[in-house]
Amino acid sequence: MPEALIPLILFAKKYRVGKPTGISFIDSTTLDVCDNRRIHSYKVFKDIAHRGKSSTGWFYGFKLHLVINDMGEILSFFLTTGEVDDREAEVIDILTKDLFGKLFGDKGYISQPLFKRLYEKGIKLITRLKKNMKNKLMLIEEKLLLRKRALVETVNDFLKNIC
């Protein structure tokens, strides 16, 4: 299994099919390699996988970072170890290399430096607000497209549970 990982990623990167449309969705999902109670006896990805924390709790494995367009086609993806933050500069730069327009994400992508970095590249990052944040004006079109963010969750679910 570990030997097949790198060729699989290279193949998928070369033959991705989506084209940027100006409306993109970003998300990450955990790829657990074993149960937390079995970490010390697990040997397959021993030196590669790491512990990380997601909104659902602690896990041991990898994170799949994914960007799709408004038609559900994968534009870019990146596989990291479990402890890597969703907002890390390297990951975001790789994922948004060929993007333009609006990028919709969940509350995990709220960061002023990230917003500024993407805005300088011509990408407007749009997220929902946390409870303790001040309300900001948002176009109705952006609010409606933010509801469509469930599309990226569906693609993540399809990739994890079916493929």
Reply yes or no on whether the pLDDT at 94 is more than 60: yes
Q: What pLDDT score was predicted for residue 15? A: 60
The answer to the question of residue 2 being in a domain is no
pLDDT tens-digit profile of 2-33? 666 677 667 666 666 688 899 999 999 988 88
pTM of the model: 0.83
In three-state secondary structure terms, 118 is: helix
User: What is residue 69's predicted lDDT score, i.e. its pLDDT?
Assistant: 92
Q: Are the CB atoms for 17 and 74 separated by under 8 Å?
A: yes
Tell me whether residue 3 is in a domain: no
Domain count, the chain: 1
In a domain, 148, yes or no: yes
The two tokens of residue 74 are 């994968």
- Here the contacts of 136-143 (C-beta below 8 Å, separation 24 or greater) are 142/102
Query: Is 7 domain-assigned?
Result: no
- Asked if the model's pLDDT at residue 100 lies above 90, the reply is yes
Instruction: Confirm whether 66 is domain-assigned.
Output: yes
What is the rounded distance in angstroms from the CA atom of residue 103 to the CA atom of residue 12?
22
Domain-embedded: residue 1: no
Domain of residue 125, residue span: 17-162
Residue 163 has pLDDT above 70, yes or no: no
d(CA 92, CA 119): 13
Residue 97 confidence (pLDDT) above 80: yes
Give the CATH number, domain containing residue 35.
Answer: 3.30.420
